[in-house]
Structure 1
Amino acid sequence: MIVYEFKLKGKYKQYQAIDEAIRTSQFIQNKCLRYWMDNPDIKVDKYALNKYCAVLAAEFPFANELNSMARQSAAERSWSAIARFYHNCKKRIKGKKGFPTFKKNCRSVEYKSSGWKLSETRKAITFSDQKGIGTLKLKGTYDLNCYDIKQIKRVRLVRRADGYYAQFVISVDVKIETQPTNQAVGIDLGLKYFIADSQGHVESSPQFYRRAEKQLNRANRKKSKKFSRERKKAKVKQSNNYHKARNRYARKHLRVSRQRKEYCKRLAYSVIQSNDLVGYEDLNVKGLVRNRHLAKSISDAGWYTFRSWLEYFGHKYGKVTVAVPPHNTSQKCSSCGEKVKKSLSTRTHVCPYCGYVEDRDINAAINILKLGLSTVGHTGTYATGDLPSWAVGASLLSNGESVNVESPRL
């Protein structure tokens, strides 16, 4: 599966129609979740929620205006959250099990194989349901003429701070044969260096959020000055100036996230093209950001984004990517194997047993490579046993993002 994204060009009324379709999809999603909560005695599964969509369409005229398969897609989102909750309960995962919650601000609506039609040139798309979206122009560098219409499995409309986008999920084999490089590398992710590999190469952390923090804070203050508490108490919509300032602030955040994503994508592509096997840490980023002293720096680094692209490009180009446990990779000596305890402030590894001296991150990268080489022959490519992150592209993320929207240059 690959995902192609285009920016949509249309009139203001068409954008309003897209917003109405998104609100309807959110309404159906929440209604399906409520139906599951209110009926604990009967079996409510994916098919029962799909049938419930027809009941909602008959009861609410605005729900009937949305395409039937778009209604089913909204129900599938609810079932995805319910199934994840059941899975966590069966696995007895520690802490919260992720009980499904109602959505308040959805940003996308998803169509399946009906409700839309591409033009002959495939530079425009027409939506035929009763929401009144009509024909929208597609602005982008991809060429949909290379694929059959039957290969397009889903179309999603996404609202972002800088406009509206269309994402096409295309069923196609993304694997590409490449010449082996006979190289293997271990990668240590850090804050001082974004990555340090076992060959001694380091890549500095770009810190996109830190660089833009002053502008973001300034835009946030301007937004706050235009916020009216009296309007909120009276439950009246905020002024147009407030919404303009809010949009400017959101666009600045969007720019930072795009910079981070593009950086991680190109770095992962370079690593995969240069090596046949890549070992990296299986970090629990969600748990690491609970550290209030390092949360901002960890979030700014984008470790999970880098891992997602690394796994995707590894699958695409037939390279082996191995996630290894990160325990003691920084403390263990890569030369003699003895454990040398160090604090986070100690950046140089000095082994008192064998006298080996190396940068802390490079020493950890060598240990990661050794673990990767010892793991790959026994448990397969993914040491954790989970699906790789690139597999998420088969069904788009609920926030409108896609992990494998490729750049034309790659």
Structure 2
Amino acid sequence: MLVLEYKIKGTKLQYQSIDEAIRTTQFIRNKAIRCWMDAPREANINKVALNNYSTALRKEFKFVEELNSMACQSATERAWSAIDRFYSNCKSKVSGKKGYPRFQKDNRSVEYKTSGWSLNPTKRRIAFTDKKGIGEVKLLGKWDIHTYPVKLIKRVRLVKKADGYYCQFAIKTESSSETRIADGEIGLDAGLEYFYSDSNGHHEPNPRFLRKAEKAIKHAQRQIYTKEKGKNKRRKARQRYARKHLKVSRQRNEHAKRVARNVCKVNTLVVYEDLRVKNMVKNHYLAKSINDVSWGLFRRWLEYFAGKFNTKFVAINPRMTSQKCSDCGAIVKKSLSTRTHKCSCGCELQRDVNAAINILNLGKQARDGQSQSNASGVGITTLVGENLLGQILTVNEESPSFQSK
């Protein structure tokens, strides 16, 4: 799926209509969750049953009927996505919480399918034809949506962000491949001191976007509480605070995208650590720094660009890669404060570079141990206690941001 995003320019009444459509989507999703919770054990509540329930809601509530029928189905699909994920976690016996579906109170988007909207044939405008009263709005952006046939547009999503309203188009297209400029092999060791250290000895600087903006963010947050509750000044202060966080989020995404593209552009094999970030952030001393570096986001972009450049992406278990000597294989115990690897064999390397070389060697073993080609960015994840083909993860999205919330 290719995702094109435009900023929307409309009137105040149109923005209010979009807000109403978003609230209706949240209402339908929460009602679907409640329907599933209250259903008897023997009842077969599935995706089809929830879609039929959206039809019943349209008959019962007038404001639901005003929303396009396919948009109502999209709302129940979001509910089923949460329910299905919970069932999958229970079935696979995921450790910890299983993600029991919860009611949503901060929905920020409404999603249309192939009806309820129409594109202007020449201008960058889109009109929403349901009874919510959104009407025609302008699309601001550099993308040319008219180069794609309308029948290939499978989803249209209206999203409310801190700096305005956006329209996203999900277009069904084949991902075009690009040509690599080199055929190297690289292992990447993620860290906090550096964004990553590679097996060639290069250290990518850690941008620390949140740390740099933290002073301004805290000042904006304090300003919220100096304003009286319910007043317009407090609302504007909250918007300023939200915009600063949105800027940090965009900086992280653009940085991860740029670095991942550069890595895949010059390498036929990219080996990365299979990090369990969810468990790592339980360390409250490092949680902020771990979230700021965005390892998970970087990995998703690596997987995507691996498909673009026909690069093999392998994610391996990083256990003992920092302690093992990359030259002789001996185990050299060291604490986190020890930043230099020194072995009795004479090997002396920066700690993260030594780990990156070990990661690359493990990735080569995984690659040579399986004959299946990897032209679409498939990551082979090795978990503790599993063989090298223990888990397969495939990424086919054009952008990680266009996912159901």
Q: TM-score, with normalisation over the residues of structure 1?
A: 0.92
The answer as to whether partners of 2:260 and 2:298 remain within 8 angstroms in 1 is yes
1:334 to 326, 330, 334: 326
Q: Is structure 2 residue 301 aligned with structure 1 residue 301?
A: no
The verdict on how the C-alpha distance between 1:394 and 1:210 changes in structure 2, with shifts beyond 3 A counting, is: closer
The answer as to whether partners of 1:175 and 1:317 remain within 8 angstroms in 2 is no
Alignment of 1:7-406 (within 5 A): 7-39=7-39, 40-179=41-180, 181-228=182-229, 238-352=230-344, 354-379=345-370, 381-384=378-381, 385-391=391-397, 393=399, 396-399=402-405
Quote the offset at 1:143 in angstroms. 1.0
The answer as to whether partners of 2:272 and 2:315 remain within 8 angstroms in 1 is yes
CA deviation string 1:161-219 (max 9, x = no partner): 00000110011111314146221100111000101110111111010110111101101
CA deviation string 1:338-394 (max 9, x = no partner): 111211111111113x12100011111101111111112335542232433454859
CA deviation string 1:45-76 (max 9, x = no partner): 00000000000000000000000000000000
What secondary structure sits across from 1:383 in the alignment?
A: strand
Question: Aligned partners of 2:228 and 2:333: how far apart in 1?
Answer: 51
The answer as to whether partners of 2:341 and 2:351 remain within 8 angstroms in 1 is yes
Identity of aligned residues (%): 54
Structure 1 residue ranges without an equivalent (≥5): 229-237, 400-410
Question: Aligned partners of 1:394 and 1:250: how far apart in 2?
Answer: 21
What secondary structure sits across from 1:382 in the alignment?
A: strand
Quote the offset at 1:398 in angstroms. 3.3
How many residue pairs align between the two structures? Answer: 389
- Amino acid aligned to 1:398: S
The verdict on how the C-alpha distance between 1:316 and 1:392 changes in structure 2, with shifts beyond 3 A counting, is: closer
What secondary structure sits across from 1:83 in the alignment?
A: helix
The answer as to whether partners of 1:175 and 1:315 remain within 8 angstroms in 2 is no
Structure 2 residue ranges without an equivalent (≥5): 373-377, 382-390
CA deviation string 1:251-294 (max 9, x = no partner): 01111111111111111111011111100001011111110110
CA deviation string 1:207-265 (max 9, x = no partner): 0110111101101000122254xxxxxxxxx2111110000000011111111111111
Question: Aligned partners of 2:367 and 2:171: how far apart in 1?
Answer: 31
Question: Aligned partners of 2:288 and 2:221: how far apart in 1?
Answer: 17
Question: Aligned partners of 1:312 and 1:53: how far apart in 2?
Answer: 35
Question: Aligned partners of 2:27 and 2:199: how far apart in 1?
Answer: 51
Question: Aligned partners of 1:80 and 1:155: how far apart in 2?
Answer: 18
Match of 2:384 in 1: none
Displaced runs of 4+ in structure 1, greater than 6 A? none
The verdict on how the C-alpha distance between 1:307 and 1:179 changes in structure 2, with shifts beyond 3 A counting, is: closer
Question: Aligned partners of 1:378 and 1:4: how far apart in 2?
Answer: 39
Quote the offset at 1:302 in angstroms. 1.1
Question: Aligned partners of 1:361 and 1:112: how far apart in 2?
Answer: 47
The verdict on how the C-alpha distance between 1:395 and 1:260 changes in structure 2, with shifts beyond 3 A counting, is: closer
The verdict on how the C-alpha distance between 1:345 and 1:387 changes in structure 2, with shifts beyond 3 A counting, is: same
- Amino acid aligned to 1:254: L
Quote the offset at 1:299 in angstroms. 0.7
The answer as to whether partners of 1:108 and 1:398 remain within 8 angstroms in 2 is no
Question: Aligned partners of 2:31 and 2:399: how far apart in 1?
Answer: 26
What secondary structure sits across from 1:276 in the alignment?
A: strand
Q: TM-score, with normalisation over the residues of structure 2?
A: 0.93
